[in-house]
Structure 1
């Protein structure tokens, strides 16, 4: 669906207005807190932020955006490390008539795949009908060959039943797009397997048109277990990929978290099934154990020593969780940040600035439907300051 020009004008005005509202505007490639990308109005809300950094340092960011019917994913661009943002397009549902309902994903092709050249931007999301009959969940793939200005439907990756988180229902959720060896894999949460209430799986394509069989990534023998929300990063010093996911098991909790965050290390992003997942656990000041909770995100930075730093975010706190020993089980530490909690909060290490940690902002899960109008925002903090290696404050430049 094509939006009217009046809605386009709303986006353009909001981005400009947010930039002008700062008495001390964020500096390009600097550090800043809660820089507004888009300010929701009316019944709009933003959550589940996602992004990709292009090879030239340009950042494209989007979000699950509720309010419009049918829904879509607005796309914004920053060429200065998140200091300023420009609205550039909408990623819309072009095939189902349902809208792009939730859980966006963005990635840049790093190699030619099929007829698509390196530099093509890939977008995906979960399409379902929010109004009337909920006919299914479709993870569809789109491509942009003009840096996110326009989008074309490419293929349906996978389809499931209507959105329903009850065990025994058959939807699919939460796509993640992964480049690997001249192919693309799309990883997602899958409720269709009768042996598992939910599992993590992926499918591979060498042409973006046809997709291989469903391959398990994390599938727990206990039916009630529901690993969810795959995010993957590469750790060069140890030549391993890390997958993080939440791991609810019925009504139980782990280290005080109902959706504790686990991780898996593997030699490649297609073989996580061969390795055991492990919990992220930190020791608190009073000697107790704590686990991050829900919708994790993971990145790796070369900053922080020989093995760099793994950084994990969760949905329920402003903190981040770091590991400087290549993912060793007892190496996790928690550090405060000035950014707020967000449902499925995304984080990013700027490509040319390994100590610049970007944290995207939006609404928390419990505020859905309350019309709090929390901005889609970006915070950039110094990873060295966060972890206590350097002296400084949140707003140092």
Structure 2
């Protein structure tokens, strides 16, 4: 979680100025179509903190899509992670379930992350849905990154394990022992959880990971980005893998780094998802002569349409509406911006979704972009959850 505070884009502010969430309703998109800036959920105007933040999705085997986010329901005694469901390609969502804090008595507060087991693991069958997120009490005095599981496609949830403990307080102030931003990835019979941690007194913040072979017992912490300059603050790691080049890419924000003010987006390339700590980081600088994307990045990999089995990495940063595309080779000079017409947002999520062959999309894969709003937006503007679906871009080669 970075210090950079950024409000919604001008387009978003223009509708917020209308003053009433009900007035912001757009025409609902057609099922399995392309669309941009589609409002999904408007929180209560009295909701605390940022009202909503940090949207995350997961597509299931039946092509339905689950969605969660940070939610600050003023009517709830304890905060929880809502689970909403779409059966029409993200055009509309309905409430489906919720993930309550079952063990700490604090509430589930920050950065939910959804993941489906790609194989049987830890006593759970293939396809079991995992949710990792931060649980902390209202006074933020301590925190856990906790793991929950659903064996019935997100309808019911059970606590599985504590992944990481932060003695607190759960705030971004230097010297506070907070933990943030879990990201899950399966690799060779073990589940990896990447996260940000302020617990080490030698670092303002660093990126680390733990692994598990049974979902209940977690390894010792291993550092992925731990700079010797204790004043800098890397954060918000996400990881993507190319089965073509066998390369893993980690993106993260690098607050206080050498190239720009704010929190420019950096990345690492590794042959192993467990070995980012030994790899040099570098910034994503697009070739359009403009500013490096800044803040809360996300990265995915997908096959490039019509390119004979070759793939592309797609990255996003908070300060730019564009996405940034590179080939399997991950050429440092190869990142190119592409306008997808979707509002920028704090930790805007990217996901490739499958469409039915009998739908308007005719079975083509699409790029789903999910927005939860912007950090710092609580009184002066109105966060809500929105999304967009666009064609997967080709890498610009001209």
TM range (shorter): 0.7 to 0.9
Mark the CA change 1:22 to 1:168 in structure 2 (over 3 Å): closer, same or farther: closer
In structure 2, C-alpha distance between the alignment counterparts of 1:298 and 1:351, rounded to whole Å = 18
1:278 aligns with 2:282: yes
Equivalence for 2:11:
none
Asked whether the 8 Å contact 2:242–2:328 carries over to 1, the reply is: no
Deviations 1:13-52 (A, max 9, x none): xxxx99xx665x4233220122232222222321111112
Equivalence for 2:18:
none
Deviations 1:264-285 (A, max 9, x none): 111222111121111100133x
Equivalence for 2:78:
70
How many residues are paired up?
A: 360
Equivalence for 1:3:
none
Q: How does 1:98-109 map to 2 (within 5 A)?
A: 98-109=106-117
Equivalence for 1:258:
262
Equivalence for 1:300:
301
Quote how far apart the aligned CAs of 1:220 are: 1.1
Mark the CA change 1:134 to 1:83 in structure 2 (over 3 Å): closer, same or farther: closer
In structure 1, C-alpha distance between the alignment counterparts of 2:274 and 2:64, rounded to whole Å = 28
In structure 2, C-alpha distance between the alignment counterparts of 1:273 and 1:330, rounded to whole Å = 22
Equivalence for 1:165:
172
Quote how far apart the aligned CAs of 1:79 are: 2.8
In structure 1, C-alpha distance between the alignment counterparts of 2:219 and 2:62, rounded to whole Å = 32
In structure 1, C-alpha distance between the alignment counterparts of 2:275 and 2:333, rounded to whole Å = 24
Deviates more, 1:305-314 or 1:165-174: 305-314
Asked whether the 8 Å contact 2:336–2:396 carries over to 1, the reply is: no
Equivalence for 2:190:
183
Asked whether the 8 Å contact 1:257–1:292 carries over to 2, the reply is: no
Asked whether the 8 Å contact 1:51–1:62 carries over to 2, the reply is: yes
Deviations 1:192-244 (A, max 9, x none): 12222211111111111111110111111111121100111111210111111
Equivalence for 2:13:
none
3-state DSSP class of the match of 1:290? Answer: coil
Asked whether the 8 Å contact 2:254–2:266 carries over to 1, the reply is: yes
Asked whether the 8 Å contact 1:196–1:220 carries over to 2, the reply is: yes
3-state DSSP class of the match of 2:267? Answer: strand
In structure 1, C-alpha distance between the alignment counterparts of 2:100 and 2:290, rounded to whole Å = 43
3-state DSSP class of the match of 2:277? Answer: helix
Equivalence for 2:387:
378
Which of 128, 141, 162 matches 2:136?
128
1:117 aligns with 2:125: yes
TM-score normalised by the chain length of structure 1: 0.85
Asked whether the 8 Å contact 1:128–1:162 carries over to 2, the reply is: no
Equivalence for 2:220:
213
In structure 1, C-alpha distance between the alignment counterparts of 2:62 and 2:73, rounded to whole Å = 33
Deviations 1:153-201 (A, max 9, x none): 1111111121122232211111111122222111100111222221111
Asked whether the 8 Å contact 2:136–2:170 carries over to 1, the reply is: yes
Equivalence for 2:211:
204
Equivalence for 1:291:
292
In structure 2, C-alpha distance between the alignment counterparts of 1:150 and 1:178, rounded to whole Å = 22
Deviates more, 1:65-74 or 1:154-163: 65-74
Asked whether the 8 Å contact 1:100–1:128 carries over to 2, the reply is: yes
Which of 312, 320, 325 matches 2:323?
320
By relative contact order (CA 8 Å, sep 6+), the higher-ranking structure is: 2
Asked whether the 8 Å contact 1:242–1:265 carries over to 2, the reply is: yes
RMSD over aligned Cα, in angstroms? Answer: 2.2
Deviations 1:295-354 (A, max 9, x none): 001111212546422111111222111112531100011122221121111111224666
3-state DSSP class of the match of 2:233? Answer: coil
Which of 37, 47, 53 matches 1:47?
53
In structure 1, C-alpha distance between the alignment counterparts of 2:322 and 2:155, rounded to whole Å = 34
Equivalence for 1:195:
202
Equivalence for 1:12:
none
Which of 339, 345, 349 matches 1:342?
345
Equivalence for 2:373:
363
Structure 1: unaligned runs, 5 residues or longer:
1-16, 390-397
TM-score normalised by the chain length of structure 2: 0.84
Equivalence for 2:39:
36
In structure 2, C-alpha distance between the alignment counterparts of 1:276 and 1:354, rounded to whole Å = 36
